[in-house]
Amino acid sequence: MSSAQSTPRPVRAAAVTQITRVLLWAALVLFVLSLFLPSVSRQQNFRLDLWCKAPEWSPGWPAFLLGPLGVLDGQFGWFANPLMLFAASVKSRKSGFALAAAALSAALAAVALVVITAFSYTSERVDAGVGITVCGFGPGYYLWLACSVLVLIATLVKVAKRFDALRQE
């Protein structure tokens, strides 16, 4: 008999709940840190030979506050934030299959949006006529990415717990 089968169900459920809580708290800590650490470096130059030679780093909070306006520039990465919030807030006990599937889909979409941001966010338009070039991403971006992955893992654990409970009934 394996240890998973010999462990009483309430003990396993409590352990899974604790793991989920730890993952979600860790994701919250990473998200908050990502707001204050350098997330993206940018530079505006009129000469091509000077682009990205001395970029300015900005923290994540301005991108978080102005993120919904990114739609006007074809940037949709900010929408990973409400998707992560939705996936993290779904309770595994009370959700049916449709809600669990929606939470898992939201978590997957959030990870996809964060990853796609690194490839699609290459410049910003400004009124002066010369765009601002995105030179690179810093620790704030990578913490945001790690946050979305932790939310996905926590959602997977919650969905697995829910299906395990249904199978036991």
Q: What is this structure's pTM? A: 0.81
Delimit the domains of the chain by residue range.
3-168
Two structure tokens written together for 31? 């998200």
On the CB side of 91, CA atoms within 13 Å amount to: 2
pLDDT in tens, the chain (169 residues): 444 555 555 657 677 788 888 999 999 999 999 999 999 888 876 666 666 777 888 899 988 988 888 887 778 888 999 999 999 988 766 657 778 888 899 999 999 999 998 888 777 766 666 677 788 889 999 999 999 999 999 999 888 877 776 666 6
Q: Provide the edge-to-edge strand list for the sheet that holds 38-43.
A: 56-59, 38-43, 132-137, 123-124
Decide if 77 contacts 114 (C-beta within 8 A).
Answer: yes
* CA gap 12, 18 in Å, rounded: 10
> Minimal CA–CA distance to 64: which of 52, 51, 77?
77
Q: What is the DSSP letter of 131?
A: P
* CA gap 73, 123 in Å, rounded: 9
Decide if 42 contacts 130 (C-beta within 8 A).
Answer: no
Two structure tokens written together for 118? 């690194």
